Amino acid sequence: MSTRDTVTVRVPAKVNVQLAVGAARPDGFHDLANVFLAVSLYDEVTVTRADALTVTCSGPDAAQVPLDRTNLAARAAELLAARHGLSPDVHIHIAKDIPVAGGMAGGSADGAGALLACDALWGLGSSREELLEICAELGSDVPFSLIGGAALGTGRGEVLTPVEAGTFHWVFAVADGGLSTPAVFREFDRLTAATAVPAPQADPALLAALRSGDPDALAATLANDLQPAALSLRPQLADTLAAGTGAGALAALVSGSGPTTAFLVRDEETAAKVAAALTASTTCRTTRTTTSPAPGATVLAR
Ligand SMILES: C[C@](O)(CO)[C@H](O)COP(=O)(O)OP(=O)(O)OC[C@H]1O[C@@H](n2ccc(N)nc2=O)[C@H](O)[C@@H]1O
Ligand SMILES: Nc1ncnc2c1ncn2[C@@H]1O[C@H](COP(=O)(O)OP(=O)(O)OP(=O)(O)O)[C@@H](O)[C@H]1O
């Protein structure tokens, strides 16, 4: 067993540079061709030995984070402990920087982070495959939060194939209030009810653009099938998208299920300009500038 009493793991947010969505499956999920990119915006999850499983959270969005057993970090600790016949008695603290219910996989990041942190705290040495299996049980986005970088997700997004990616610069506009992921998928179903939804396919031109690190090529291929659904539920997001492209972003899209919007920019200077214009437009709550790809869940040496 490990002799450490506390372990901190840093976990990145994500943006989906391609999100191709198929028809609803009998189990209610949708098959995806989901090209994930981890960005340099992180939560930190600290686990400490304790007498009971408890969760606390700090950061500007902390009040919106559940502190009971529905928190994905608590569920991760419980699943890992149950597999090994251990009690999940840890205090989990989440230092939250990823917007809550923003389409950037914040809860998923905390699930993956708590899993890796508990594995280290309890000295289990689980293989990556074992951890990925638990991640998939926790949610469709959780496996990617563990591996980070860039990857194609198929199935409901949990079957991952890492892909190569050069460096890109992004600005994110964080909206007031969140959007529920199931509600956005339901709206997708409503909007596509009269059409034959094709099987989702990864776009080879987008994968080549990612590899090349050419922002113009990536800008021309960004695509999110959930964007019409997110815009239908939150029409004001169109104003945010227009404010960012008007200020010099190469392309703009809704991040995953939204309502965070993502702006691909050429370089750091343009990022600062676009972020300032978005703030001045008053069409968002706050902005964040990031780069990609970012590493996956990482134990911090402390
Ligand atoms: C929109 C994305 O963030 C893109 O990466 C993900 O597809 C959502 O992943 P997530 O938040 O981890 O979602 P889960 O916790 O697995 O599922 C929440 C709900 O979203 C819907 N859902 C999710 C993933 C998927 N492939 N099809 C779906 O229809 C289902 O209604 C599901 O009940
Ligand atoms: N650790 C957590 N942090 C934030 N929300 C959590 C957490 N655990 C559970 N939740 C619940 O999950 C809901 C969605 O939050 P989250 O921040 O993961 O959304 P999201 O970023 O849109 O997710 P995704 O991009 O994976 O669809 C929250 O409203 C909250 O009720």
| pLDDT 10s digits, 254-284 | 999 999 999 999 999 999 999 999 999 999 9
- 151/160 Cα distance (integer angstroms): 6
Which has the closest alpha carbon to 71: 37, 113, 30, 39? 113
Domain positions in the chain are 6-163, 168-292
> Which DSSP letter does residue 186 get?
H
> What does the pLDDT read at residue 1?
47
The ipTM value here is 0.97
The size of the chain, in residues, is 302
Write down the CATH superfamily of domain 168-292: GHMP kinase, C-terminal domain (3.30.70.890)
257 Cβ inside 6 Å of ligand 2: yes
CB 62 within 8 A of CB 106: no
Is 3.30.70.1450 the CATH classification of the domain at 6-163?
A: no
The pocket around ligand 1, CB under 6 angstroms, is made up of 16, 19, 28-30, 32, 34, 105, 108, 139-141, 156-157, 181-182, 185, 256-257
Backbone angles phi, psi at 49, to 5 degrees: -55, 140
Q: How far is the CA of 298 from the centre of ligand 1 (A)?
A: 24
Whether residue 3 is predicted with pLDDT greater than 90 in this model: the reply is: no
Domains 6-163 and 168-292 share a fold: no
Whether residue 70 is predicted with pLDDT greater than 70 in this model: the reply is: yes
Look up residue 108 and give its two tokens: 């998923």
Mean pLDDT, the chain, whole residue set? 97
User: Tens of pLDDT along 80-124?
Assistant: 999 999 999 999 999 999 999 999 999 999 999 999 999 999 999
Q: How far is the CA of 300 from the centre of ligand 2 (A)?
A: 23
Mean pLDDT of 62-83: 98
User: Tens of pLDDT along 122-178?
Assistant: 999 999 999 999 999 999 999 999 999 999 999 999 999 999 999 999 999 999 999
pTM above 0.95, yes or no: yes
